[in-house]
Amino acid sequence: MTGSHGFDARVSGGPITEGLRFGFYRPISYLRRHQAVDRWHEQNSGAVDEMIAAHGVVTHTYLDDITSEDHAKPGPWGQRLLAKKLLADLAADTLDAVAVCTVGRGAFAATPVWDVVMLLACQGKQLWSADIGGPLDPRNPEHILWLKVKLGVPEPNPALLTTPTGPKGGRA
């Protein structure tokens, strides 16, 4: 059910967590494999496993090779090869949520993380991050502050939170 602010009530009122079907998404750059940022992803994979194990199962894995991507000027996230597949699978209702290790810089190319959260919410889906240990909620001040301080993620656009949407896709 969608709330008056356009954000999926499952997320804002507490997630429905029994048997969620997760798609695990991770961008990988083989040129940067040994940098500290990539080690963070590897270390954080255990946190993702724990987070998912308590709430569902990974049904699909999307490891997007971003080696050739222009990191100085990335395009929209939906143009990445496996991001396109992930979005198609979400639209086909084969997934309930997307899990990521981190929503830090580059995770969604040039697309702001809160835009991804809202896109998923409009479809009745969720974005789960090991940074938070569960689904991200753009109306939760703790989530906003944590991501802002820890990862430099800007606050969500207030206009996104007031855009009315009807129920779409998703499992009841």
Quickly list DSSP for 42-81.
Answer: HHHHHHHHHHHHTTEEEEEEEEEE-TTS-TTS--BGGGSH
Is residue 162 in some structural domain?
no
In a domain? residue 128: yes
CATH of the domain at 93: 3.40.50.1390
Domain range enclosing 72: 18-152
| Positive or negative torsion for Cα 26, 150, 13, 161 | negative
Residue 123 in domain = yes
Asked whether residue 10 is domain-assigned, the answer is no
The domain tally of the chain equals: 1
Per-residue pLDDT at 31: 63
pLDDT tens digit sequence for 107-149: 899 899 999 999 999 999 999 998 888 999 999 999 999 988 9
pTM attached to this predicted model: 0.76
Residue 171 lies in a domain: no
Residue 33 counted as domain residue: yes
pLDDT digits (tens, 9 = 90+) for 9-48: 333 334 444 689 999 998 887 765 555 444 545 556 777 8
